[in-house]
């Protein structure tokens, strides 16, 4: 059989080059050429004359068998997937090193194996012995999962074809290597080739594949963007390695909503679903200046999280503006509105804002919580009555007005469940000034003093 050759394609303009140049010969861009395998005579044709015509079929005549979804037995994961894994689908799970990607996928395979499904764990990162050590601390049938430690793509594809698992984990897509390409494993061309060939086999054999992917320093999924287009579902595992809480959310889902997210906790026995995360966060909330509770939305579920702020005189110019769990630009906006429209200037003080528990909140509804936490810290007063934390949500407009956000009823109901009433929201307070009057007593409290 003729061996595939490789060419280099410019990701900016599509120019083809026979060998690697630092600069694209077509558009002149630097470092845009990525290697791609090409079978001899494939994709040549030109002019549309060489291909075989195919007959279009009306959609109503297409056979679409309904395959039952495969439940991974991890409630939060199944919910995020839209009810379990779809046979023949590809799910990409991204997350920073040590966050728990291998643990989550091993647990899912263990549960599936225990439920009588054929599974396979392919690891290019760890030896079989390392995988066993992890599986020993996991529940279910994690130790019964067949495993191969392999990095050669052809060997992995041949194994999949021979074993015909119903569900397979590839850990990770960046470690597999296609022998046709000379570039190193993990390079753009390699990742694209690996994902493309696994996709074709998975679709043809009906294997549900969980692809583990690395993330870049900025937190985006590493590898070409095309990888996200190729797969059916992209899940992001977030949180800080040092903290116990991790959030799993769907960034893309061809078979369900992308509004779902789940909270996990890393424990000795693997990842534990945190069914009532609000109760944990409210229970841990401090009653000190600079602390408020945000009624946030994690997908379609309300979640109460503590937002903390610290305002401290600084010797440094410019002063520090540190945001953990919220967008840094959003913090800058809130500080500007606080100063301009609510008379709470932080001047040259350092400002630190933190969402407790390592949770990340990416929604404008967090603005009011950040503003109240900073104002409470700056004035040295405890928000609310000092007994219970105060709950709030709402977006800040640039002229100091409060703007409504999605699902106010669900947010209020969640806060009520924990006795956090009244909730400061755009429904009651129309401006940031009004919200501050409602949330903060005018004098520093005895506890704060
Ligand atoms: N016995 C244990 N109890 C609690 N946590 C543990 C235990 N053993 C390992 N961990 C935690 O599990 C995490 C590693 O999980 P895992 O290997 O699944 O991560 P990963 O995302 O696959 O990492 P990588 O990117 O390196 O492959 C670490 O943060 C570690 O602290
Ligand atoms: Mg891993």
The model's confidence at residue 3, banded by pLDDT at 50, 70 and 90, is low
Low-confidence winner among 244-248, 294-298, 360-364 (lowest mean pLDDT): 244-248
pLDDT at residue 122 greater than cutoff 50: yes
Residue 111 has pLDDT above 90, yes or no: yes
11-31 per-position pLDDT tens digit:
777 788 877 778 888 888 887
Ligand 1: centre distance to CA 267 (Å) = 9
Expressed in angstroms and rounded, the spacing between residue 79 Cα and the centre of ligand 2 is 23
**pLDDT at position 359:** 83
Is pTM beyond 0.95? Reply is: no
Ligand nearest to the CA of residue 171, numbered in listed order:
2
Give mean pLDDT, residues 92-119.
Answer: 94
The pLDDT tens digits of the residues spanning 38-64 come to 766 555 555 556 788 999 999 999 888
The atom of ligand 1 lying closest to the CA of 103 is 18
* Residue 309 pLDDT exceeds 70: yes
List pLDDT tens digits, range 332-361: 999 999 999 999 999 889 999 999 877 888
Q: Which pLDDT belongs to residue 448?
A: 42
> 3-state SS of the chain?
CCCCEEEEEECCCCCEECCCCCECCCCCCECCEEEEEECCCCCCCCCCCCCCCCCCCCHHHCCCCCCCCECCCCHHHHHHHCCCECCCCEEEEEECCCCCHHHHHHHHHHHHHHCCCCEEEEECCCCHHHHHHHHHCCCCCHHHCCEEECCEHHHHHHHHHHHCCCEEEEECCCCCECCCCCCCCCCHHHHHHHHHHHHHHHHHHCCEEEEEECECCCCCECCCCHHHHHCCEEEEEEECCCCCEEEEEEEEECCCCCCEEEEEEEECCEEEECCCHHHHHHHHCCCCCCEEEEEEEEECEEEEEEEEEEEECCCCCCCCEEEECCCHHHHHHHHHHHHHHCCCCCCCCEEEEEEHHHCCCCCHHHHHHHHHHHHHHHHCCCCCCCCCCCEECCEECCCCEEECCCCHHHHHHHHHHCCCCCCECCCCCCEHHHHHHHHCCCCCCCCCC
The average confidence (pLDDT) of the chain is 88
Which residue's C-alpha comes closest to atom 7 of ligand 1? Answer: 268
Task: Quickly state the pLDDT bin for 1 (edges 50, 70, 90).
Answer: very low
Whether the predicted pLDDT of 181 surpasses 70: yes
Tens digit of each residue's pLDDT (9 = 90 or more) over 156-168: 999 999 999 999 9
Q: Is the pLDDT of residue 447 over 50?
A: no
For 398-416, write each residue's pLDDT tens digit.
999 999 999 999 999 999 9
**pLDDT at residue 106 tops 90:** yes
pLDDT at position 446 is 44
The binding-site residues of ligand 1, defined as CB within 6 angstroms of any ligand atom, are: 95, 97-103, 125, 137, 241, 266-268
Centroid of ligand 1 to alpha carbon of 53 (angstroms): 51
Closest residue by Cα to atom 6, ligand 1, is 268
Which mutation among 74, 99, 175 tests ligand 1's pocket best, with the greatest number of atoms within 8 A of CB? 99
Q: Read off the pLDDT of each residue in 179-191 and give the average, rounded to a whole number.
A: 85
| pLDDT for the residue 222 | 65
CA–centroid distance, 235 to ligand 1, in Å, is 18
Q: How confident is the model at residue 218 (pLDDT cuts 50, 70, 90)?
A: low
Cα 126 to ligand 2 centre (Å): 8
């Amino acid at each position: 059989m003729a061996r595939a050759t490789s060419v280099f394609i410019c990701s900016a303009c599509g120019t083809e080059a026979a060998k690697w140049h630092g600069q694209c010969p077509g558009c002149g861009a630097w470092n845009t050429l990525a290697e791609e395998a090409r079978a001899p005579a494939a994709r040549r044709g030109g002019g549309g004359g060489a291909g075989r015509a195919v007959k279009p079929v009306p959609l109503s005549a297409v056979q679409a068998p309904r395959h039952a979804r495969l439940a991974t037995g991890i409630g939060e994961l199944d919910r995020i997937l839209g009810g379990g894994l779809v046979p023949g689908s590809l799910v990409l799970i991204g997350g920073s090193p040590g966050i728990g990607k291998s643990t989550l996928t091993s647990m899912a395979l263990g549960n599936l194996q225990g439920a009588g499904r054929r599974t396979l764990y392919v690891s290019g990162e760890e030896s079989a012995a390392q995988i066993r050590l992890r599986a020993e601390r996991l529940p279910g049938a994690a130790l019964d999962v067949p495993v191969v430690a392999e990095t050669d793509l052809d060997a992995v594809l041949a194994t999949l074809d021979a074993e015909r698992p119903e569900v397979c984990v590839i850990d990770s897509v960046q470690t597999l290597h296609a022998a046709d390409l000379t570039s190193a494993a993990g390079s753009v061309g390699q990742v694209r080739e690996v994902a493309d060939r696994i996709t074709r086999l998975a679709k043809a054999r009906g294997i549900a594949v969980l692809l583990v992917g690395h993330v870049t320093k900025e937190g985006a999924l590493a590898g070409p963007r095309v990888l996200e287009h190729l797969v059916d579902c992209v899940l992001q595992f977030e949180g800080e390695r040092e903290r116990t809480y991790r959030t799993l959310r769907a960034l893309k889902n061809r078979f369900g909503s992308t509004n779902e997210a789940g909270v996990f906790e890393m424990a000795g026995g693997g990842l534990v679903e945190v069914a009532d995360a609000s109760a944990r966060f409210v229970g841990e909330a401090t009653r000190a200046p600079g602390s408020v509770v945000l009624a946030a939305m994690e997908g379609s579920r309300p979640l109460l999280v503590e937002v903390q702020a610290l305002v401290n005189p600084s010797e440094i110019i410019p002063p520090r503006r540190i945001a953990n769990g919220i967008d840094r630009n959003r913090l800058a906006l809130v500080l500007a509105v606080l100063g301009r429209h609510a008379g709470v200037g932080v001047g040259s003080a350092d400002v630190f804002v933190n969402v407790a528990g390592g949770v990340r909140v990416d929604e404008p509804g967090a603005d009011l919580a950040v503003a109240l936490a900073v104002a409470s810290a700056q004035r040295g007063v405890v928000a609310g009555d000092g007994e219970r934390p105060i709950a709030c949500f709402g977006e800040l407009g640039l002229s100091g007005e409060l703007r409504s956000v999605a699902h106010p009823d669900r947010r209020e109901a969640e806060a009520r469940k924990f006795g956090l009433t009244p909730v400061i929201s755009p429904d009651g307070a129309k401006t940031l000034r009004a919200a501050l009057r409602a949330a903060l007593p005018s004098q520093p409290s005895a506890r704060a003093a």
